[in-house]
Amino acid sequence: MNEIELKDFIRSIPDFPKKGIIFKDITPLLNNPFAFRSVLEIFASKYGDQNIKRIVSVESRGFILGSALAYKLGVGFVPVRKPKKLPYDVIREEYQLEYGADALEIHTDAIQNGERVLIVDDLLATGGTAAAACNLVERLGGSVAGLAFLVELTFLRGREKMGKYDVFSLIQYQEGV
């Protein structure tokens, strides 16, 4: 299944979660076993031989893709969450959004020094969340092998914020439709 066919499983929801936003809903893709399996096969084919040791994903839709891919590759899965959601010792990374600030946390023992880590999420928009996840991985001594996204909103230029990192996305939207 290619990008054009996978795009058929992404639903655009206007004015969600607020007016002027067109939300890219991936639940129809997740609900189709062939489309979901195709996404995992593409990611596994791209990253299967890159000596990845951990997959890091940011809550919540990223968990769905990241954990399934971790299982498929036979590597560990590491959740990155909003503050006060993880039960053990954490480090925190604050980052700016278009409309304010937010923060992410990761367990301090989640990544070992020198491990190659793939960051997997459902969507790359402005890049703030992904950049924060990269910073968390590197603060723990991990090496970011790449970032994999199901959807990329190229018009928001999040890839530019990723600078030195290898960014891969399956579906790109050139504008907010």
Strand partners, 133: none
Rounded CA separation 75/53 (Å):
5
Are 173 and 151 in contact by the 8 Å Cβ rule? The answer is yes
The separation between CA 133 and the C-alpha centre of its own chain, rounded to angstroms, equals 9
Residue of 88, 65, 98, 19 whose CA lies nearest to 168:
65
Ranges of H-type helices in the chain: 3-7, 27-31, 33-47, 61-73, 128-139, 158-161
Rounded CA separation 99/17 (Å):
14
Tell me how far CA of residue 142 lies from CA of 3, 102, 137, in angstroms: 31, 22, 5
- String of DSSP letters for 9-44: TPEEEET-SSTT-EEEE-HHHHH-HHHHHHHHHHHH
Catalytically annotated residues: 61, 98
